[in-house]
């Protein structure tokens, strides 16, 4: 605990991971998957897909990550489905991470923060992914609101896409890579929580496929690791990158679970299997 009435997002996520396994399950309703599940590629099919995912994951996954883009493509109808999906997951006690990758400046960033992290928003989630590439300080509205509301942010640091290294591995004037600077900036925000004996709310996204990952030992907050399964990384890669910070290291698996659908029992079984695969040693 961090000494406040409300546990930090980092504390809540660590507890969920210890209970349900350190796995983040993606809800990625891309058109091909809707077809594979025998659903229509429209808002109705999206709603059916999401309902099945909620039934399968709400009481079995520690962290569930809807990919916002696949809901946005259906306009207001898609957002209505997203709102209901978030509500149903959170009502069941599941932590929800919106994969929105928002990043802007000033009042616009504050509006994004309100949309995803404010109690009064119909889109309010437990955490949201954000991009620091307008400068880490541009994220202050989201970081501040996360601190205030007991929610979290996952900041893109070293992503698994092949285009990422040209920016993220570049060195700043002080010789520190951009990715390491992002991690260190999150560590600074997490420090008061760590000093109080808990975990902070500022997490990072580090692809499990990266070959020159930033050091995570001082982070004191969550680590989300995409790139496993279909993109080639496995449990050994995750373990190597997150040695010493295991309680808050969550492999992100989407296709590896969702291809077991649409049967709810099969999806739950796949989720549990993936959680065991990426469990790693206790810290």
pLDDT at 232: 75
Residue-wise pLDDT for 108-142, tens only, equals: 999 999 999 999 999 999 999 999 999 999 999 99
E runs forming strands in the chain: 23-27, 63-66, 95-102, 127-130, 152-158, 202-206, 223-225, 249-253
Q: Is 206 exposed, middle or buried (0-12, 13-18, 19+ CB in 10 A)?
A: buried
Domains along the chain? Answer: 9-277 (3.20.20.70)
Token pair, residue 227, equals 């790139």
- What positions carry a catalytic annotation? 101
Q: Tens digit of pLDDT per residue, the chain (283 long)? A: 444 447 899 999 999 999 999 999 999 999 999 999 999 999 999 999 999 999 999 999 999 999 999 999 999 999 999 999 999 999 999 999 999 999 999 999 999 999 999 999 999 999 999 999 999 999 999 999 999 999 999 999 999 898 999 999 999 999 999 999 999 999 999 999 999 999 999 999 999 999 889 999 999 999 999 988 766 788 999 999 999 999 999 999 999 999 999 999 999 999 999 999 988 544 3
Burial string for 126-137 (b: 16+ CB within 10 Å, else e) reads: bbbbbbbeeebe
């Amino acid at each position: 605990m961090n000494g406040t009435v409300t546990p930090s997002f980092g504390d809540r996520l660590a507890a969920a991971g210890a209970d349900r396994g350190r796995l983040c399950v993606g809800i990625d309703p891309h058109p091909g998957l809707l077809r594979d599940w025998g659903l229509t590629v429209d808002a109705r099919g999206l709603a059916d897909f999401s309902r099945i995912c909620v039934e399968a994951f709400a009481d079995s996954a520690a962290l569930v990550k809807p990919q916002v883009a696949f809901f946005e493509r259906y306009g207001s109808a898609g957002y209505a489905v997203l709102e209901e999906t978030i509500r149903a997951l959170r009502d069941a006690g599941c932590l929800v991470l919106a994969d929105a990758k928002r990043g802007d400046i000033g009042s616009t960033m504050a509006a994004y923060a309100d949309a995803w992290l404010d109690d009064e928003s119909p889109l309010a989630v437990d955490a949201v992914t954000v991009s620091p590439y307008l400068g880490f300080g541009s994220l202050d509205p989201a970081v501040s609101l996360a601190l205030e509301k007991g929610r979290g942010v996952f900041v893109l640091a070293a992503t698994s896409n092949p285009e990422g290294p040209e920016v993220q591995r570049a060195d700043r004037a002080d010789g520190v890579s951009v990715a390491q600077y992002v991690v260190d900036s999150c560590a600074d925000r997490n420090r008061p929580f760590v000093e109080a004996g808990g975990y902070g709310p500022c997490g990072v996204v580090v692809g499990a496929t990266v070959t020159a990952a930033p050091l995570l030992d001082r982070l004191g907050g969550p680590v989300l690791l995409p790139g496993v399964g279909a993109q080639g990384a496995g449990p050994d890669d995750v373990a190597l990158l997150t040695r010493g910070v295991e309680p808050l290291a969550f492999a992100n698996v989407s296709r590896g679970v969702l291809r077991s659908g649409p049967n709810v029992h099969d999806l739950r079984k796949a989720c549990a299997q993936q959680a065991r695969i990426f469990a790693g040693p206790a810290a």
